[in-house]
Amino acid sequence: MRSRRTVDVPALVEQAAEGNARAVARLISLVEDASPVLREVMALLAPRAGHARVIGLTGSPGVGKSTSTNALVAAYRRLGKRVGVLAVDPSSPFSGGALLGDRVRMQDHATDDGVFIRSMASRGHLGGLSWATPQALRVLAAAGCDVVLVETVGVGQAEVEIASLADTTLVLLAPGMGDGIQAAKAGILEVADIFVVNKADRDGADQVVRDLRYMLSLGDRRTDAQWRVPILKTVAAKSEGADEVVEAIERHGDWLAATGELDRRRTARAADEVEAIALTALRERIGDLRGGANTGGLDKLAGRVVAGEIDPYAAADELVAAVTA
Amino acid sequence: MRSRRTVDVPALVEQAAEGNARAVARLISLVEDASPVLREVMALLAPRAGHARVIGLTGSPGVGKSTSTNALVAAYRRLGKRVGVLAVDPSSPFSGGALLGDRVRMQDHATDDGVFIRSMASRGHLGGLSWATPQALRVLAAAGCDVVLVETVGVGQAEVEIASLADTTLVLLAPGMGDGIQAAKAGILEVADIFVVNKADRDGADQVVRDLRYMLSLGDRRTDAQWRVPILKTVAAKSEGADEVVEAIERHGDWLAATGELDRRRTARAADEVEAIALTALRERIGDLRGGANTGGLDKLAGRVVAGEIDPYAAADELVAAVTA
């Protein structure tokens, strides 16, 4: 546990804004730990919002997310862009594995100071990664990243939520993964802005593309004003197709900006974040009313509920009144 | 979807309090659906708090929870007690399976009007089963149950939370289940008031008892004022040992009452429930501030966050101020 006193927040933010990788890593650790200095960090980061495009990358285990991320980083570097990578693991309450992951991932880009790569797990956050991720994104944006790739495992509901944090969400599939299309059915289809069929040199890749095309044809997303979700083929291990994916991301970015959808997505994302922080603050106020010393305290109300003197809704009304007094 | 108008709440509560099984089932359906009439239901139930003892029953799949529940119901019926059974499935967002479960479970006690059996899943509740369960318990208590058995699958964190809703928690284990002791290690040990080693006629039962005894000896729960967690053996399929389990539950009840622990547990449970309802109300107030029409609205704040004019914590402060104004 780091003491609050040991963190010189303004200096740390200054260093991160200058692109110091250690300072960036330190700030993201503060985010992971839900450090009490985060409020100060975010206040200092606010005027340094930057212009990072946030790209979500999701898919089932085994579709080649890490390889694809590496190929995309290389493609963006060829364009001279500064790139951040945030690999989030919604299932892990620990970051031990994440640290190992960092080292493995760093190999291709370890010596490139135009790339920040960071794995993240939510240790202390009540709101979990849906709260921590935008804060980490804010750090990477302030550090001058033009693009941040947010990589998540495409299993369950968590990744759909995290995908919603991105400006553009890529859903990766691969042939020979029985669950690829099933995953798509279970909500992934809704969040995908771009489909990437990786391992396209393998048997069955064209079938995956056909299946996706068929499913997209069933949806009603194809009106003129809406984005036509492209389906791209890549062989990330051979860096094939990454430039085309970057082009599609750029086209999607143009569409987002032209339709006002970019503002809408970013505003909705910020609203979720502000709401989560506000709810935590309100929860803490309620927590302060536990203990019974307070006459309007929660324990006293609970005792009256147990005694059948009031019902829990009436008690909750009194509690809300006490919290908002 | 049932319309609010079709529910005559006072009549329904009256019928349930008279022990009408259909009315009890209907009220628990309202709980499951997070119906808007719940506030009225709970207000009417408050003065009918009853005296039901709440017994939690948890354990890994395959240890014989349903069979044990049936055996305990029979044992309580022999004592002339009215018994409610609430089988909760924290993992299921649907109650389709639960309905099937009801039918299967009903076979032994279907014709006994001293027994209410109900499976439950949380469909609409924001607070999930940790909220719905105490409401369902309140219905069953008002219906005159002397005992309510709450049966949950012992996997993950949810069942630990639900176990905390009980006055007395039974943790079931069985020989030949590799994960039995591991489950115990992962928090179950902390919540168990009584251990039941079911399928005690099988090889390995004594080893499970020895393992448990050893683990209990490592804990510091054995001071004089504290409850000594008993380890009982049953063969629920042959109804062996159920009477002894009921005796142990009664002894634990005496201990709870004598030490004031019963009040403490019930007050903590009510406090959790009241807190969950209050937080939902506050969340709804925040929701009302979305949409942008409101000048102090969340969307406007979010827009300022996106523009870098304020940080999300400062925005959350403004949101809390607006909600508590």
Q: Do A301 and B274 touch (CB under 8 A)?
A: yes
Distance CA A42, CA A26 (A): 14
Distance from CA of A320 to the nearest CA of B (A): 6
Q: For the ranges A83-87, A205-209, A278-282, B243-247, which has the lowest average pLDDT? A: A278-282
Distance CA A196, CA A194 (A): 6
pLDDT of residue B155: 55
- The domains of chain B are located at 49-258, 274-323
Q: Do A271 and B290 touch (CB under 8 A)?
A: yes
pLDDT of residue B157: 56
Q: Are strands A53-59 and A147-153 parallel, antiparallel or unpaired?
A: parallel
Q: Are strands B147-153 and B83-88 parallel, antiparallel or unpaired?
A: parallel
> For residue range A5-28, what is the model confidence (pLDDT) as tens digits?
578 999 999 999 998 989 999 999
Q: Which residue of B has its CA nearest to A287?
A: B275
Q: Are residues B73 and B85 in contact, defined by beta-carbon separation less than 8 angstroms?
A: yes
Distance from CA of B203 to the nearest CA of A (A): 37
Start-to-end CA distance of chain B, whole Å, equals 35
- Structure tokens given for A47: 């005027």
Query: Residues of B with CB below 8 A from A283's CB?
Result: 279
pLDDT of residue B322: 85
Query: Residues of B with CB below 8 A from A290's CB?
Result: 271
Query: Residues of B with CB below 8 A from A308's CB?
Result: 46-49
The CATH homologous superfamily for domain A49-259 is P-loop containing nucleotide triphosphate hydrolases (3.40.50.300)
DSSP code string of B171-205: EEE-TT-TTHHHHIIIIIHHH-SEEEE-STTSTTH
Q: Do A302 and B268 touch (CB under 8 A)?
A: yes
> For residue range A183-196, what is the model confidence (pLDDT) as tens digits?
555 566 778 899 99
Q: Which residue of A has its CA nearest to B278?
A: A316
Query: Residues of A with CB below 8 A from B271's CB?
Result: 290, 298-299, 301-302
Distance from CA of A165 to the nearest CA of B (A): 13
SS3 B268: helix
Distance CA B183, CA B192 (A): 12
% helix, strand, coil for chain A, step of 5: 55, 15, 30
Query: Residues of A with CB below 8 A from B282's CB?
Result: 279, 282, 320, 323
Query: Residues of A with CB below 8 A from B310's CB?
Result: 46
pLDDT of residue B295: 46
Query: Residues of A with CB below 8 A from B49's CB?
Result: 306-308
Q: Do A311 and B274 touch (CB under 8 A)?
A: no
Nearest to A160 by CA among A187, A183, A128: A187
Distance CA B104, CA B203 (A): 29
Q: Do B312 and A134 touch (CB under 8 A)?
A: yes
Nearest to B282 by CA among A284, A171, A38, A20: A284
- Structure tokens given for A181: 């299309």
Distance from CA of B174 to the nearest CA of A (A): 29
Residues in chain A, how many? 325
> For residue range A149-203, what is the model confidence (pLDDT) as tens digits?
998 866 555 556 666 789 999 999 999 876 555 555 556 677 889 999 999 999 9
Q: Do B278 and A320 touch (CB under 8 A)?
A: yes
Q: Do B42 and A281 touch (CB under 8 A)?
A: no
Evaluated on CA atoms A22, A28, A30, A32, the torsion sign reads negative
Q: Are residues A308 and B47 in contact, defined by beta-carbon separation less than 8 angstroms?
A: yes
Q: Do B323 and A278 touch (CB under 8 A)?
A: yes
Query: Residues of A with CB below 8 A from B305's CB?
Result: 46, 270, 273-274
What are the CA-CA distances from residue A301 to residues A242, A297, B149, B165, B267 (Å)?
60, 7, 26, 17, 9
Architecture of the domain defined by B49-258: 3-Layer(aba) Sandwich (3.40)
Q: For the ranges B14-18, B128-132, B229-233, which has the lowest average pLDDT? A: B128-132
Residue B99's pLDDT band, with cuts at 50, 70 and 90, is very low
Q: Are residues B102 and B119 in contact, defined by beta-carbon separation less than 8 angstroms?
A: yes
Residue B276's pLDDT band, with cuts at 50, 70 and 90, is confident
Q: Do A277 and B311 touch (CB under 8 A)?
A: no
Q: Are residues A69 and A151 in contact, defined by beta-carbon separation less than 8 angstroms?
A: yes
Residues facing A55 on adjacent strands: A149, A168
**How many beta-carbon contacts under 8 Å exist across A and B?**
159
Q: Which residue has the higher pLDDT, A103 or B48?
A: B48
Task: Please give the order of strands across the beta sheet that includes A83-88.
Answer: A115-120, A83-88, A147-153, A53-59, A168-173, A194-197, A231-233
Q: Do A279 and B278 touch (CB under 8 A)?
A: no
Q: Do B312 and A270 touch (CB under 8 A)?
A: yes
Q: Which residue of B has its CA nearest to A322?
A: B324
Q: Which of B277, B301, B314 lies at the smallest CB-CB distance from A312?
A: B277
Q: Do B324 and A323 touch (CB under 8 A)?
A: yes
Residue B217, number of CB atoms within 10 A of its CB:
9
User: What backbone phi and psi angles, to 5 degrees, belong to A262?
Assistant: -60, -50
SS3 B156: coil
What are the CA-CA distances from residue B181 to residues A134, B83, B196 (Å)?
40, 30, 13
Q: Are residues B231 and B212 in contact, defined by beta-carbon separation less than 8 angstroms?
A: yes
Q: Are residues B314 and A313 in contact, defined by beta-carbon separation less than 8 angstroms?
A: no
What are the CA-CA distances from residue B261 to residues A298, B191, B226, B246 (Å)?
18, 14, 10, 19
Distance CA A114, CA A83 (A): 6
Greatest mean pLDDT among A80-89, B179-188, B229-238: B229-238
Mutation target among B138, B311, B320 for the A interface, most CBs of A within 10 A: B311
**Residue B184 burial by Cβ neighbours in a 10 Å radius (0-12, 13-18, 19+):** buried
